[in-house]
Structures are given as C-alpha cells and as structure tokens.
C-alpha cells in the first residue's frame, strides 16, 4: 500500500532562493532582511523554506511561536531566530537553550526571562513590541518610557530592539502607514538616545511600497513566497519585480462521465446541467484546503485549458466541467494552483474567488497536503 495521496503540493526551492535575493536587492544595502517563516513558511514547509533562504544568504528568521523556533534550531537552522507573539513564562528557559530572540510586550515576560538569565548567569537581548496603529499586539507608544524604565531594574535582560507592524502597507497611498512611521520614528528616537538597539517595522508591503520604512531591518513574508501583499496578481510570473510563486498544487482526474442535460451535480444539486456535458471527478476537497467557498466558482487546469468547478466542493472530491477539453481522461494531470500550457491559476486568483487573500490560500493548500520539494 502506498502512503501517497493523489494530491501533491510542489515547492520550487530555487524560486524561494530567487525571491529572497530579489527582496535583498530591493532593500539594497540599507537593511538586512528577516525571512518570516511562521505558519510552516506560509504553507511551504518551515524548515525546507528556511534552508532555501539560508542558501540565498539569509541569517535572520521570524516565527510566531516558541515551538517553531525550537523546531528550526533542532533542524540545524543557524542565524538569529525571532519569536514574535510571546511565550509562556514556564518556557523562558528555551530561549537560552536554543539561542532564540524573544519579542516581549509585558513586564511578566521580561521578569520570566530575567529570572532564567540570572539563574544561568547569562544575558538576553529582547525586542519590545509597540502598537503604532495595527490594534493588535504591543505596548502603546506612550507606555514605552515607563516600560523601558522598569526593564532597567531587571538583571540579565537588555533591550536589543523595538519593533512594530503595519496595518495597511500593502496600499502605497495609505495615510495610516505614514502615521505609524511617524509614531515609530518618535518612539525609536527614545531608544537610540538611551539604549543601543535596532528598530524594525516593515513587512512585505513596507519593503515594496515604503522605502522610508526600512529602519534597521525589514521582515518579509508573502513576497518571499512570490506574491505581492496587495494581491491582484502583481509581481507574478515575469512581470513586476521578479518574484516567483514557489508553490504549485497538482492532482489528477479520477473519472470522466458523460451526463445528459437537466441533472444535478454534487451535494444539494446547486449545479444543473443545461446540456449534455462531460464531468470529471477530482480527488480534491475542502479537507485538502480547497475551500468549500470554491463551489461553482473555482477553476482548474487540464490539458492546458481551464475547467470550471461544478456544484459543491465535497470533503475529498469535487467535479469540473471538461466538456470542451478533448480527450480529458482519468489519470490526466490537474493543476489547481500554478501554470499549465499558457494558463495560470495563482493564489491571488483563488483568494479573490473565496473573498480571501493569497496568504490564506497558501496556508490552506500547503499545510493540508503532502509536499514535494524541487531543489
């Protein structure tokens, strides 16, 4: 018996390396580039993606949770690894064991690190998260001086940086990004005058749209996976700045059936054939991250042509119209994300079809299917 699924995510590591170099060139000599590899590197596989970026020269990585940082270290990834969304006080020791960099936004976290640092006779550099308008994680800028003051009384903890995050940097005209930069600059001035440390705020949108936002480091995510944060297929393929989508999703046809006019397809019969048709059944469903919102909306590629999803996406299967595709037969390769012949389906296209964005599509497909790497 084979462990193999009919479906396969393929990751092109050369494209990940290319994208890191493109962003590195883009940020120029002005700022080092941190590769955000949280969420299994947006579905691309955290360790393999970090290794690819490493080959392209990356030595700064960002994850959300501590367990992700530990996995990277256990896999032998070197360089600095930032844990960006916090940790349990009980796990503070892991930062020392695995040389991870904590991002903090509470006194309790600083205390937990200080206790461990003192016990181990070591010192740890922390980055403080400030909320400059995202309305998510971080201290209010006005609370920062007091927070810094309280840290100065803690042994073994030193401020290595201030970081924040943009809410709207995918839009080059966004006023809130300008405002966040002003707030951040003012906050950083405080750091630079009293402490030594770096400042960083730019995500992919910041890198691509706001050169003034680079400060001492940039943190790129979606761009490294080949997509523009604003969607709309910007930068895809040969256009734009040469970012290349690294993920493709492959399946095959299970069965092709001739059906007469007037019959219903799939659960709820939301699709009714208007004329005699040929319908192909595919082994892909919402369990595989192919959202049920793609019911009657999704498109796939078969023999270089587009085929429309008919009826609801099931848990493990869906149906597509192959009436117009000569010779479509069981076993034919089906591309659900990627190129075939002259046609392309991007994560932006799928995102637009389900009212979402490439980020979610990459996570859904990448994290729910077997992966294969092309080195």
Ligand X SMILES: *Cc1c(COP(=O)(O)O)cnc(C)c1O
Residues that bind ligand X (CB under 6 A): 36, 38, 84, 165, 203-205, 219-223, 229
Least distance from ligand X to the Cβ atom of residue 269, Å = 40
Choose among 300, 310, 238: nearest CA to 275: 310
Q: Give me the least distance between CB of 39 and ligand X, in Å please.
A: 8
Closest residue to ligand X, Cβ-based?
221
Closest distance of CB 69 from ligand X, Å: 13
H-helix or E-strand spanning residue 353? helix 347-353
Q: Name the residue with tokens 């937990």.
A: 112
For the CB of residue 79, give the shortest distance to ligand X in the complex, in Å: 16
Tell how far CA 229 is from the center of its chain. Answer: 10
DSSP class of residue 130 equals B
Question: What's the min distance (Å) between Cβ of 45 and ligand X?
Answer: 16
Answer yes or no: are the C-beta atoms of 247 and 44 closer than 8 Å: yes
Among 38, 82, 214, 227, the one annotated catalytic: 38
Two structure tokens written together for 31: 């700022």
DSSP 19-72: HHHHHHHHHTTT--EEEE-HHHHHHT-HHHHHHHHHHTT--EEEESSHHHHHHH
Evaluate whether 34 touches 61 at the Cβ level (below 8 Å): yes
DSSP β-bridge partners for residue 126 = 159
Nearer to ligand X, 240 or 268 (CB): 240
- Annotated catalytic residue, options 74, 192, 267, 272: 267
> Smallest distance from the beta carbon of 92 to ligand X, in angstroms?
20
In order of 26, 49, 83, 200, 222, the CA distances from 58 in angstroms are: 14, 11, 17, 17, 16
Query: Is 225 considered catalytic here?
Result: no
CB closer to ligand X, 71 vs 296:
71
Among residues 103 and 112, whose Cβ is nearest to ligand X?
Answer: 103
Please tell me the number of Cα atoms within 13 Å of 195 on its side-chain side: 24
Q: Are 235 and 241 in contact (CB under 8 A)?
A: yes
- The sign of the dihedral angle between the CA atoms of 219, 223, 228, 231 is negative
Q: Which is nearer to ligand X, 209 or 273 (CB)?
A: 209
CB-nearer residue toward ligand X: 9 or 362: 362
Minimum separation from the CB atom of position 219 to ligand X (A) = 4
Distance between CA atoms of 302 and 281, rounded to whole angstroms? 12
Nearer residue to ligand X within complex by CB, 45 or 221: 221
Q: 272 an active-site residue?
A: no
User: Which SS3 state, helix, strand or coil, does residue 81 take?
Assistant: strand
Do 298 and 344 contact (CB within 8 A), yes or no? Answer: no
Please list the residues that pair with 83 across neighbouring strands. 63, 102
Please identify, using beta-carbon distances, which residue of 60 and 313 lies nearer to ligand X.
60
C-alpha span between 349 and 291 (Å, rounded): 13
Q: Active-site positions?
A: 38, 267
């Amino acid at each position: 018996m084979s462990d193999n699924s009919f479906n396969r995510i393929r990751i092109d590591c050369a494209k990940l390396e290319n994208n890191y170099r493109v962003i590195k060139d883009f940020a120029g000599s002005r700022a080092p580039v941190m590769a955000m590899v949280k969420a299994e590197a947006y579905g691309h596989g955290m360790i393999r993606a970090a290794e690819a970026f490493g080959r392209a020269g990356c030595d700064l990585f960002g994850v959300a949770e501590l367990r992700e940082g530990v996995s990277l270290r256990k896999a032998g990834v070197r360089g600095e690894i930032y844990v960006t969304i916090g940790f349990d006080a009980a796990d503070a020791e892991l930062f020392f064991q695995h040389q991870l960099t904590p991002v903090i936004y509470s006194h309790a976290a600083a205390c937990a690190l200080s206790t461990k640092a003192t016990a181990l006779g070591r010192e740890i550099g922390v980055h403080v998260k400030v909320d400059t308008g995202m309305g998510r994680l971080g201290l209010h800028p006005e609370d920062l001086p007091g927070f810094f003051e309280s840290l100065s009384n803690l042994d073994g903890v030193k401020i290595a940086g201030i970081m924040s995050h943009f809410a709207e940097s995918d839009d080059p005209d966004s006023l809130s990004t300008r405002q966040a930069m002003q707030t951040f600059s003012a906050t950083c001035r405080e750091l630079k005058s009293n402490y030594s440390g770096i400042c960083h705020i730019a995500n992919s949108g910041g890198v691509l749209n706001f050169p003034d936002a680079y400060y001492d480091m940039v943190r790129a995510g979606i761009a490294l996976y080949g997509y523009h944060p604003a969607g709309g297929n910007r930068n895809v393929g040969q256009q734009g700045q040469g970012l290349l989508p690294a993920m493709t999703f492959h399946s095959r046809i299970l069965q092709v059936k001739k059906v007469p006019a007037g019959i219903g397809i799939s659960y709820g019969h939301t699709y009714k054939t208007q004329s005699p048709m040929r319908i192909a059944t595919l082994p892909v469903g919402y369990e595989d991250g192919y959202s049920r919102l793609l019911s009657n909306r999704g498109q796939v590629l078969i023999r270089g042509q587009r085929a429309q999803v008919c009826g609801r996406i099931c848990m493990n299967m869906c149906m597509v119209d192959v009436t117009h595709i000569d010779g479509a037969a069981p076993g034919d390769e089906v591309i659900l994300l990627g190129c075939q012949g002259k046609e392309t389906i991007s994560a932006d296209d799928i995102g637009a079809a389900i009212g979402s964005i490439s980020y979610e599509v990459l996570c859904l497909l990448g994290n729910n299917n077997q992966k294969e790497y092309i080195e």
